[in-house]
């Protein structure tokens, strides 16, 4: 089965329908969806449907989305039924009916026979569980030729429930379509083919008919050509610039694909979640704050980089096993080398005791530095320090100003754009003695901590080059190809605030 890519047309006039449908087919659509609820004057002039059908030079779906289910139509039951019957007679290849509002009509139109396929749609108002999705999809498939359900997705866990329901349903031999709405639902659109969805809806540039629809050119490429789906698992993910950076990497080696920031609250970061993504067609995943250590526990096999750090930032699947790597190591190593920062026998301090801190400790240690770790949870600092033969120090002692460091690395999110930590700095006391200060935070490119360090006379380095280095290495792991790092850097730089 090949998923049909449908361009939704939200036009007010027949001339608009004619123009947009031409553009949609030229961009790779296999069909268009005429959103009748957007056509002005249709209720008083139903013959517009014949004109609209003639204006579209290819397969078309007629949809009269009611306001109850997220559309514009407020017609009463009888007027609604009259228009939908008229659309049926106008010769549309598909007619979209609402499982609840049009129940009697679906049976009547199906009974008429003919070549028009009926679609029974159901739109959840709040994120649906896997069980609810399966149950509604079953009912919709019983009612019409194609059953279709859509649900809002507030985070990627909701979208994974959609993907998981689709994968289960695809074994039942029924024609169905399923999608998650909103930016976090986009994975269900990118993976529609692998999920077994009969239809996937996309939009012309800037004219989405539903939140989260992908551009028609991209959606067609994702379905029709060999393409890659990558994602970033984090919480939050709004600060990340990995999407433009990794999509630049794809373009630099002429590959098709998409990179999706996936907001995954801690309770949803499970092995089942990660497996569902790979089953649905993901090729590779990055992992960021706060999931790197969790990812390390979830992976079924670990590369040496992940093994030695206890944290995973890059995931792929090999021979059915979820494999974790840590490309932060190579990213940070490249950054230190390019800046010619000496490490041998130097005193280094890592602030923070999460996944990035683990990678920083390993690189500093391998470079010959003495490593001290400090964090607001002293116990965590000690654990991370032990893993690289370093020592842990409570935050108040590390920042008292009485100790001098040669290199200080901020491995906390302090200073990250758009967070409550945006205006904070690392404790000023760690910057006494003019250490080289490396801030792993890359958004903004110059953090408050870097400003403070400069005022104290320190050399400062931001996290952007590390981001590019770790991203390029992850890309190599997923595709076996070496991307153009200059293009990646430029794309990331442009996206920074």
Longest CA span, the chain: 87
Cβ closest to ligand NAP, residue 284 vs residue 354: 354
- Kind of pairing between the strands at 256-263 and 31-35: unpaired
* Inter-residue contact 288 to 240 (CB < 8 Å): yes
Site string for ligand NAP, 310-339 (x = CB under 6 A): ------------------x--x--------
353 interacts with ligand NAP by CB under 6 A: yes
User: Which residue among 148, 194, 243, 292 is the active-site one?
Assistant: 292
Interface segment toward ligand NAP; rule CB under 6 A; list 44-52, 249-257, 295-303, 439-447: 439-447
Cα–Cα distance measured from residue 121 to residue 100, given in angstroms and rounded to the nearest whole number: 8
Which residue in the set 31, 414, 453, 472 belongs to the binding site for ligand NAP (CB under 6 A)?
414
445 burial type by CB count under 10 A (0-12 exposed, 13-18 middle, 19+ buried): middle
Phi/psi region, residue 478 (left: phi>0; alpha: psi -120 to 50; beta: rest), is alpha
Cα–Cα distance measured from residue 368 to residue 436, given in angstroms and rounded to the nearest whole number: 16
460 interacts with ligand NAP by CB under 6 A: no
408 interacts with ligand NAP by CB under 6 A: no
Is residue 340 flagged as an active site residue? no
DSSP string, 354-408: SHHHHHHHHHHHHTT-EEEEEESSHHHHHHHHHTTT-EEEEHHHHTSSSS--SEE
397 interacts with ligand NAP by CB under 6 A: no
Cβ closest to ligand NAP, residue 105 vs residue 441: 441
292 interacts with ligand NAP by CB under 6 A: yes
413 interacts with ligand NAP by CB under 6 A: yes
Count the site residues for ligand NAP by CB under 6 A. Answer: 29
Q: Which residue is nearest to ligand NAP (CB)?
A: 354
Site string for ligand NAP, 364-383 (x = CB under 6 A): -----------xxx--x---
- Taking the complex as a whole, the smallest distance from the CB of residue 419 to ligand NAP amounts, in Å, to 9
- Taking the complex as a whole, the smallest distance from the CB of residue 330 to ligand NAP amounts, in Å, to 11
* β-bridge mates for residue 123, sequence order: 150
| The pair of three-digit structure tokens given for residue 109, joined into one six-digit string | 């139109």
355 interacts with ligand NAP by CB under 6 A: yes
Residue 246 to residues 149, 235, 446, 493: CA-CA distances in angstroms?
31, 19, 22, 12
- Taking the complex as a whole, the smallest distance from the CB of residue 228 to ligand NAP amounts, in Å, to 21
DSSP string, 109-135: HHHT-SSPEEEEEEE-SSPPPHHHHHH
Interface segment toward ligand NAP; rule CB under 6 A; list 25-33, 68-76, 264-272, 352-360: 352-360
290 interacts with ligand NAP by CB under 6 A: yes
- Taking the complex as a whole, the smallest distance from the CB of residue 10 to ligand NAP amounts, in Å, to 38
Catalytic sites, residue numbers: 292
């Amino acid at each position: 089965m090949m998923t049909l890519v449908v361009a939704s047309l939200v036009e007010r006039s027949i001339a608009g329908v004619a123009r947009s449908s031409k553009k949609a087919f030229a961009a790779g659509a296999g069909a268009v969806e005429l959103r009748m609820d957007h056509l002005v004057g249709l209720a008083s002039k139903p013959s517009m449907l014949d004109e609209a059908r003639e204006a579209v030079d290819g397969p078309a779906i007629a949809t009269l989305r009611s306001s109850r289910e997220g559309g514009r139509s407020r017609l009463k039951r009888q007027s609604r039924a009259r228009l939908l019957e008229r659309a049926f007679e106008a010769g549309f290849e598909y007619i979209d009916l609402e499982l609840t509002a049009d129940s009697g009509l679906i049976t009547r139109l199906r009974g008429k026979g003919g070549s028009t396929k009926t679609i029974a749609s159901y739109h959840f108002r709040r994120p649906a569980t896997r069980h609810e999705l399966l149950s509604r999809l079953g009912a919709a498939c019983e009612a019409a030729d194609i059953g279709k359900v859509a649900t809002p997705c507030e985070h990627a866990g909701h979208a994974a429930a959609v993907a998981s329901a689709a994968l289960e349903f695809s074994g039942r031999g029924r024609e169905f379509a399923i999608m998650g709405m909103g930016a976090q639902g986009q994975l269900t659109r990118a993976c529609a083919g692998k999920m077994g969805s009969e239809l996937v809806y996309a939009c012309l540039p800037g004219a989405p008919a539903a939140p989260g629809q992908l551009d028609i050119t991209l959606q067609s490429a994702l379905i029709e050509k060999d393409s890659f789906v990558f994602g970033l698992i984090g919480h939050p993910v709004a600060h990340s610039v990995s999407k433009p950076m990794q999509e630049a990497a794809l373009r630099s080696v002429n590959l098709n694909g998409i990179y999706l920031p996936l907001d995954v609250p801690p309770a949803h970061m499970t092995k089942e979640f990660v497996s569902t993504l790979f089953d649905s067609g993901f090729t590779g995943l990055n992992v960021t704050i706060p999931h790197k250590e969790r990812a390390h526990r979830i992976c079924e096999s670990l590369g040496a980089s992940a093994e030695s750090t206890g944290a995973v930032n890059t995931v792929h699947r090999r021979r059915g096993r979820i494999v974790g790597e840590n490309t932060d190591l190579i990213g940070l190593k490249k950054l230190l080398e390019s800046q010619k920062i000496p490490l041998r026998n130097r005193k280094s301090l890592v602030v923070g005791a999460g996944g990035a801190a683990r990678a920083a400790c390993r690189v500093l240690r391998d470079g010959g530095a003495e490593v001290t770790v400090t964090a607001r949870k002293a116990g965590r600092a000690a654990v991370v320090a032990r893993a690289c033969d370093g020592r842990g120090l409570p935050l108040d002692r590390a920042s008292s100003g009485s100790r001098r460091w040669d290199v200080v690395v901020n491995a906390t999110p302090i200073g990250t754009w758009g967070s409550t930590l945006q205006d904070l700095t690392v404790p000023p006391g760690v910057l006494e003695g003019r250490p080289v200060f490396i801030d792993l935070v890359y958004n903004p490119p110059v953090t408050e901590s870097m400003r403070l360090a400069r005022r104290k006379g320190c050399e400062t380095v931001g996290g952007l080059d590390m981001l590019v280095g770790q991203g390029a290495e992850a890309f190599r792991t997923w595709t076996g190809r070496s991307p153009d790092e200059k293009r990646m850097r430029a794309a990331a730089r442009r996206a920074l605030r």
